[in-house]
Amino acid sequence: MSKHSAVQSKVAAHGDKMIEVKIRFWTNDIADFGKVLPKHAWTSGVVRLERNSSHGIVPGHPRPFHSLLDIGAVVEASLIEHGIQLHPSRKMGKYLSDKPED
């Protein structure tokens, strides 16, 4: 029995096992109207979660970011909004402690 037994696991179709976060950068007003400057974008844009029926994810409204430094916080807010719980990877374990803080 898993330590996460409160949540029932289920079969997921191939391609539906991962949770996908999409980051899109604005490209407007860099080139002349109706054109793009290839491989150029602003440091702002939107973050959104992709639809995934196996995980019960229905995309909400895209969340804007205004700087590259904002992306992590916006991704975190999007995951929380959708009720997604992350589990630390093996490598991340070296930063975590089981001891309660004083």
Q: What is the Cα gyration radius of the chain?
A: 18
Give residue for tokens 């409204």: 61
- Residues 15-71 have pLDDT tens digits of 678 899 999 999 999 999 999 999 999 999 999 999 988 888 999 999 999 999 999
- Angle at 30 (CA atoms; ends 40, 68), nearest 5 degrees: 55
The tokens for 56 are 């019960």
Q: Check if the beta carbon of residue 1 is closer than 8 Å to that of residue 8.
A: no
Whole-number pLDDT of residue 46: 98
Specify the pairing of strand 45-49 against strand 21-25: antiparallel
Interacting residues of 71 by C-beta distance below 8 A, sequence separation 6+ = 23, 47, 65
Q: Which residue has the higher pLDDT, 79 or 3?
A: 79
Give the model's confidence band at 5: pLDDT under 50 very low, under 70 low, under 90 confident, else very high: low
Whole-number pLDDT of residue 1: 40
**In the predicted model, is pLDDT for residue 73 greater than 70?**
yes
Interacting residues of 26 by C-beta distance below 8 A, sequence separation 6+ = 41, 42, 44, 45
Whole-number pLDDT of residue 26: 97
Question: Using the 8-state DSSP alphabet, how is residue 54 labeled?
Answer: T
The residue ranges of DSSP E strands in the chain, in sequence order, are 21-25, 45-49, 63-65
Q: Is 0.95 topped by the overall pTM?
A: no
